[in-house]
Amino acid sequence: MTESLNEFSFIESIRQRSAKSAALEIGIGDDTAGWRITEDSLLLTTVDMLMEGVHFTIPPASAFQVGYKVMGVNLSDIAAMAGRPQTAVVSIATPKKYGSKFLQELQQGMQQQAENFGTIIIGGDTNIWEGPLVVSVTLMGVASEKGVVKRSGAQTGDWICCTGHLGGSLLGKHLDVTPRINEALLLHQKYNLHAMIDISDGLVGDLFHILEESHKGAELIAENIPISKAASSNDDGQTSLEHAMSDREDFELLFTLSAEQGELLVSKQPLDVLVSHIGYVTEELDYKLQIGKKRHVQLKKQGWEHSFSSPCGISKHDNY
């Protein structure tokens, strides 16, 4: 979930040395693993850990909210595969000072979020120590009848789309995560999605995961990127577009599908949340953000950089 270069190069190194098995249909490198149980059943497994001081602080987060969040971020990874969540096991390392009422509320938060999506907690481990609160959830689910949507399926000419509004999540939304399980299942059932990921590391960072796995490039359209109110209200010197493109923990879906299917989807708007067409997949391994008709900036894996100086660069007062 965190975005340091070291994390990704570590994951890449273990990925190359990881054991292979005929049953392992989806290994390290996607939002969940996929393990073939029977001809009809692909088990999806994911784990995400939240750490006090990194992913939340107490206060302002309550014990319930931490529980709700940690279950939500794991469900979001099942959503990214268009899977159906089923069961969870949880691990808690809690500091003594928080006491048993706190622990009860933490568990209730996890339970509530799990129940929202028909998931049951079937086990776990609880330890008390002097360190900060650390909570880890392992989530298991199954692929739908139509199979999963991986990161690797993007095709040249695809539309790049996303759900919801992006940016500013850390100002509050991250503690009230609604994983897009139902949206992903509906999209997968009605449209032929080629690739999908959930936005946890920021729009651009997660788009790069799709592009790398699919060996494609992309062109994003600045004025189409749906910017959340929170992204605009953050007065820290970054533009609201910059926030929408790089802020972590939106937990929205980012996906690609053919232009024909994309047009149908965006005109129909079949979800309770907005679906936006934010760009195109390209054959050329180039990564651009198009701003208006004449300007563009180069996208970089860890965020994005201005390729022109003012007046062509993006300023806080540019109107998108």
Q: What residues line the site for ligand ADP (CB under 6 A)? A: 1, 11, 14, 28-31, 48, 77, 200-201
- Angle between helical axes of 181-190 and 63-80 (0-180°, round to 10): 10
Distance CA 17, CA 57 (A): 36
Does position 31 interact with Mg ion (CB under 5 A)? The reply is yes
Please identify, using beta-carbon distances, which residue of 248 and 288 lies nearer to ligand ADP.
Answer: 248
Please identify, using beta-carbon distances, which residue of 187 and 221 lies nearer to ligand ADP.
Answer: 187
Binding site partner of 23, from Mg ion, ligand ADP, none, Cβ cut-off 5-8 A by kind: none
313 phi and psi angles, rounded to 5 deg = -75, 170
**Residue 120, token pair as written in the block:** 């049951």
* Shortest Å distance, C-beta 301 to ligand ADP: 13
Please identify, using beta-carbon distances, which residue of 14 and 22 lies nearer to ligand ADP.
Answer: 14
Binding site partner of 132, from ligand ADP, Mg ion, none, Cβ cut-off 5-8 A by kind: none
Please identify, using beta-carbon distances, which residue of 85 and 262 lies nearer to ligand ADP.
Answer: 85
Report the amino acid identity of residue 62.
S
- Angle between helical axes of 99-116 and 63-80 (0-180°, round to 10): 30
Give the number of other Cβ atoms within 10 Å of residue 234's Cβ.
18
* Shortest Å distance, C-beta 317 to Mg ion: 34
Binding site partner of 29, from Mg ion, ligand ADP, none, Cβ cut-off 5-8 A by kind: ligand ADP
* Shortest Å distance, C-beta 121 to ligand ADP: 19
**Residue 71, token pair as written in the block:** 């279950």
Report the amino acid identity of residue 171.
L
How many helices and strands (H and E) does the chain possess?
Answer: 8, 14
Question: Which residues ranging from 72 to 111 are in contact with Mg ion (CB under 5 A)?
Answer: 77, 80
Binding site partner of 48, from Mg ion, ligand ADP, none, Cβ cut-off 5-8 A by kind: ligand ADP
Q: Residue 42 CA to chain centroid, in angstroms?
A: 21
DSSP structural state of residue 158: P
Please identify, using beta-carbon distances, which residue of 219 and 250 lies nearer to ligand ADP.
Answer: 250
**Residue 82, token pair as written in the block:** 């268009």
* Shortest Å distance, C-beta 199 to Mg ion: 8
Please identify, using beta-carbon distances, which residue of 77 and 247 lies nearer to Mg ion.
Answer: 77
E strand spans, 29-119? 33-38, 41-51, 83-95
Site for Mg ion (CB under 5 A): how many residues?
Answer: 5
Phi-psi region of 133 (alpha: psi -120 to 50; beta: other; left: phi over 0): beta
* Shortest Å distance, C-beta 232 to Mg ion: 25
Contact in structure between 163 and 226 (CB atoms under 8 Å): no
* Shortest Å distance, C-beta 263 to ligand ADP: 29
Please identify, using beta-carbon distances, which residue of 29 and 132 lies nearer to ligand ADP.
Answer: 29
Q: Which residues bind Mg ion (CB under 5 A)?
A: 31, 77, 80, 198, 200
